[in-house]
């Protein structure tokens, strides 16, 4: 009886090892989001050589920023940090030469520290000017964004620079959930889907110069180009923006009803540190679509957004910081036709907002 039990146990163990090996093998070999085997160094070198680089589907933006800073020969005079809502803010729109846009999707406070920490660690110095795209959920206590923890170099950069600025260890948000990509079942499913979709092309090197103006790409200053269906005005794009209804739920920010004191302290400490080091700070706020503003502001379904705007304006005034933009599209005479979706302006709309007088 015992022998039968142990045989069954060994079979189950062997089966489990086989399944685990399959998951690890597929995740490592396919790695559709490049979180295990980063392949972005060649992309970075192409971009910094003055090329427009095609963006692979779901590439890891934070690992890419590590590669960018590692590949730079000298520190840019102006650096833009923040989320995807700031990815159009570049040399053409701002008028600042020698600029690099390091924004990452879902950028949170820890991303601010990580991105600037990459520069500080390499150059032991900071840019002359930092533009900080600041979205309201940056100040939400339960912001679930955890992608800044996925790459060791990026994570360590955030922790080390946080300690440099605040003289204390970075306490990480317990609400974030970061999976181990080697054994992640959800990543396994995603990799299988990409394998089916792309065939053996999924294993090929992704870095290449973009020659097709309709595809997503990164420009040499770090700003982006969306694929044509999103980049350009169209009835389909407009209809998607107009279909917005209810509160903005991004980063669970519909539950945000106050400015978290700890988040605001971290934000203020970073900016005070930059100013004390002689770095000029500019804050950029990107508007939400007109339709979204009706829900978020008129119906007060995102009460934290107004609080965040008022807080930023008051703080900026106290530190003599120039502020560009705002959260309400109607303050700038924008229309839904200038939005890619409910929270992303297109390039022309961003240019108009930045230069609005």
d(CA 101, CA 212): 22
DSSP one-letter string for 4-15: HHHHHHHHHHHH
d(CA 275, CA 128): 10
What confidence tens digit (pLDDT) does each residue in 224-255 have? Answer: 999 999 999 999 999 999 999 999 999 999 99
What confidence tens digit (pLDDT) does each residue in 144-172 have? Answer: 999 999 889 999 999 999 999 999 999 76
What confidence tens digit (pLDDT) does each residue in 259-273 have? Answer: 999 999 999 999 999
Query: Which DSSP state fits 318?
Result: H
DSSP one-letter string for 278-305: T-EEEEEEPPBPHHHHIIIIIS-S-HHH
Residue-level pLDDT at 263: 97
- Record the tokens describing residue 333, joined without a space: 């005479």
What confidence tens digit (pLDDT) does each residue in 46-57 have? Answer: 999 999 999 887
Evaluate whether 173 touches 146 at the Cβ level (below 8 Å).
yes
CA torsion sign for 151, 156, 159, 165 is negative
Neighbours of 216 (CB within 10 A): 18
- Comparing CA positions, the residue from 312, 278, 272, 316 lying closest to residue 164 is 272
d(CA 288, CA 294): 10
């Amino acid at each position: 009886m015992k022998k039968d039990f142990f045989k069954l146990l060994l079979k189950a163990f062997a089966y489990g090892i086989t399944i685990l090996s399959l998951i690890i093998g597929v995740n490592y070999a396919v790695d559709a989001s490049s979180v295990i085997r980063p392949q972005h160094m060649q992309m970075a070198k192409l971009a910094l050589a003055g090329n427009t680089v095609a963006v692979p589907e779901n590439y890891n933006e934070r690992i890419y920023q590590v590669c960018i800073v590692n590949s730079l020969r000298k520190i840019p005079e102006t650096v833009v940090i923040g989320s995807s809502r700031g990815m159009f803010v570049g040399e053409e729109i701002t008028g600042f030469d020698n600029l690099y846009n390091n924004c990452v999707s879902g950028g949170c406070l820890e991303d601010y520290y990580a991105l600037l920490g990459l520069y500080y660690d390499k150059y032991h110095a900071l840019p002359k000017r930092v533009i900080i795209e600041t979205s309201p959920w940056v100040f939400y206590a339960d912001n679930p964004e955890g992608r800044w923890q996925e790459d060791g170099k990026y994570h360590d950069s955030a922790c080390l620079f946080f300690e440099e600025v605040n003289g204390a260890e970075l306490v990480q948000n317990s609400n974030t959930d970061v999976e181990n990509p080697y054994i992640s079942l959800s990543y396994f499913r995603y990799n299988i889907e990409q394998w089916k979709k792309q065939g053996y092309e999924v294993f090929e090197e992704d870095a290449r110069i973009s020659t097709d103006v309709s595809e997503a790409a990164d420009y040499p200053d770090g700003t982006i180009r969306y694929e044509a269906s999103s980049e350009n005005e169209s009835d389909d794009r407009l209809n998607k923006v107009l279909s917005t209804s209810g509160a903005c739920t991004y980063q669970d920010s519909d539950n945000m009803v106050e400015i978290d004191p700890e988040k605001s302290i971290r934000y203020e400490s970073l900016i005070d540190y930059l100013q004390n080091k002689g770095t000029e700070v500019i804050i950029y706020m990107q508007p939400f679509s007109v339709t979204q503003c009706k829900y978020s502001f008129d119906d007060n379904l995102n009460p934290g957004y107004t609080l965040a705007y008022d807080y930023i304006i008051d703080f900026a005034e106290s530190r003599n910081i120039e502020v560009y933009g705002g959260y309400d599209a109607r303050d700038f005479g924008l229309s839904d036709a200038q939005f890619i979706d409910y929270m992303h302006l297109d390039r022309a709309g961003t240019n108009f907002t930045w230069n609005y007088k």
